[in-house]
Structures are given as C-alpha cells and as structure tokens.
Amino acid sequence: MTLINQRIHSEFCNCAVEHPSLSQVIQVPMSMLGSSGAVTVLVVVIILLILLLILVFICRKRIKPAFQTKAKPPIEVMEIIAPSKKQQGSMDFFSGSVQEMSHFDSQTLKKATMNFHPDNFLGSGGYGPVYRGKLSDGRLIAVKTLNLNKAQQGEKQFLSEVRLITSIQHKNLVRLLGCCIDGPQRTLVYEYMKNRSLDLIINGHSDQFLDWSTRFQIILGIARGLQYLHEDSHMRIVHRDIKASNILLDDKFHPKIGDFGLARFFPEDDCLSTQIAGTLGYTAPEYATKGELSEKVDIYSFGVLLLEIISCRMNTDFTLPSGMQYLPEYAWKLYEKSMLTDLIDPKLREHGFVEKDVMQAIHVALLCIQSSPNLRPPMSEIVALLTFKIEMVRTPMRPIFLDLRHKVAVADKDKDDDYEN
C-alpha cells in the first residue's frame, strides 16, 4: 500500500509541475496522499469531473437546435406526417423524391387565396370547392376544402391518411403538398396545374386545339397513372371517379389524375350504402346497380373518357340527335357499321392523324366499356395495347345496354301499334 501511495504522490507532483492549474482545481492537501483515504478522495473527484463534462455536453446538444431551427408544427403533427425512412427509400415507381409534407396554417391559406376570393375559384367537385392560391415564396397552389358533413375523421386519423397519400407519388398523379386543420375544417393543398382540367377542352370552353400527338400523350399518361394506382403502388387504390374534370394538365399538357386519394377520407359505408361515388355517364353498370367496386370500375370510366378525347365531346349530349346522344352507344353503332372514323373529332380530321393509332385507341376504349367487368383488360394490358407492345387479340362484344335499349324500343312500338288498333 505504501508503494501505491508513493506512486500516486509522484504522478500527482509531476502533473502539478506540468499543469499548475490542476493543483488549484483539486484542492486536496498533499499531506492527505500519505493516508489510505487519499486514493478514494482522488477517484471521487475524477468521477465528479467526468460527470460534469457529460452534463455540459448534453445541455449544449439540447440548447443548440432550439436557437438554430425555425418554428415547426407541434411534435404530434410532425410525428404523424413525416415520411418514414422506409417510404423515402421506396422509389421504384416514384417520379421524384418523397418530400416531407407541409402543415399549412389557415391564415397562410387565406392570404394565398385572398380569403378564398371568387376570382380564385377553380371549380367544385363532389368533395368540396377548389381555389387557386399563391404562397409568399411565389409558388402557385390549388386549395381544396373538404365538405364538413363528409370528412368525419379525427385529427390523428386525418393526418395519417394524408401521410399515406403523400407516399403515393407518380408523374401522372397530382401531388399533394400538404394539409391544414382548423377546428373541424379539413383542407388539402395541391400543386397548381396551369392548363386546368381536360373537360374545359372537351366541353369547348377553351380555344386550344389538341393535335393527335398531344391527345395520345394525355391518354397514355392517364393509363399509366391508373396502372400505378391499381397494380404498382404499395397500396391498391380504386379512384371511383375518373372523368375529364379530374384530369389536370400542366404547362406542357402532361396529364395528372386529381383526387386519386380523396375516397380514403370518407367512410366507405356512406359511399356504398347512401350514395354511389362517380359521375353519370362514366359509372360502370355493376357499380351503379349493385355497388360492386373493383379496379374494373375505373377501367370502364377510362374507356368512356378515351372516347371523349378522340371525339372531343362529352359522353352525354342531349342537343344531338337521339342516336348520338350517348357516346358509348354511338361508338358501338359506328363500330358495327365499320364507320369508326365518323367518331373522330372533325378538327382532328382536318389537321391529320395517324389512323392506325387512333383506330387502336378506339378498339381499346370498346374493350374497356364491356358490360361484364371480367371482359375488361387490366391497365397494364391497356398500356401495352396502346403502345403496340402486344397485339390486339380480343374482339369487343356487343354491350347489354344496346340490347336493352332495343327491347324497350320494340316494346314501345308494340304498345303504339296496339293503341292504334
């Protein structure tokens, strides 16, 4: 023990010579080193110094970010809406990197839309009105306010749904930038699309003419967007409301499907039992009559939309003669008469088009609007057919609605004959 004490005394003296401050920090009388308690005292002092250094290091780590970072949404919000590392790495089908979703406050959106001024009103869908807005950094946005009587989720569930939808990204899907919760109000913020919606062109409310190359670009983009939702996404989504007004066009007329995830915000029971989602003229027969929902519902709607793009007219137009009012019925009659070129937009015929490509697209449309969902091809096959990667081997079958319409017409004629007799 004496040798140990002597060794400690020697080392301490050497350190004191090299570092005079050490003797000032550790106020231990040199006479104590000669006793058995010297070792204990020295060890306790060293441990206290180590603990003090650790405490200072932890305090600096916690205090530093508070001064360097900007104000963020409540931690509960960020935990729910921040994309996980797993989602950030799943980029196989994404058009770009998954960015952290923003949480907008209501005042920011009111300022961006000039307090939702009527001049910024873009339109109104089944889920609520949409307004154009401009953020302080110059970005243009589209602000959709969800109807209060339909959006029934709590805050945590709503944010979880938003986070899920923001993880689904594709170049042909409108990107959801963020959301806002203001009491019971739920608001979604999307990227703004310069050329608005496709229905403005089909309805004749726009002076812009789309050549066949642009129309085919739109058709193929919609098909690929649906293929992603149905087959390639990590979660299967049936849109349920594919129509011209839900196809938005950017500055180069690249199409993006809008409202692709809104169905997730509303209770499924309400949608099926009280009101079938969708739009008249686009709704598949099995869904409209029996509420049977599958990807084939979207495929039927895509077929109707495809006919609209080629003919540049809406699927239902009561200003036309009776045989032309319902577009799918009119298309089938022309198909049976081998007169499908009459279906093509007259302006498109004037400017020229590739007949082989247009005829292929019409045949694909006829396959999509088959009465039986089992006869409609999946979106991956539709994309392959449109791009001529596979041959057209299917022959469209006569739809049931034509036979029913014929039976009704015959019955009405028989009644008139009986009445006259």
Cα(104)–Cα(84) distance, rounded to whole angstroms? 20
Active site residue 241: yes
Q: Please identify which of the residues 199, 211, 241, 342 carries the catalytic annotation.
A: 241
Are the beta carbons of 285 and 209 closer than 8 angstroms?
A: no
Cα(406)–Cα(333) distance, rounded to whole angstroms? 12
Q: Which residues are catalytic?
A: 241
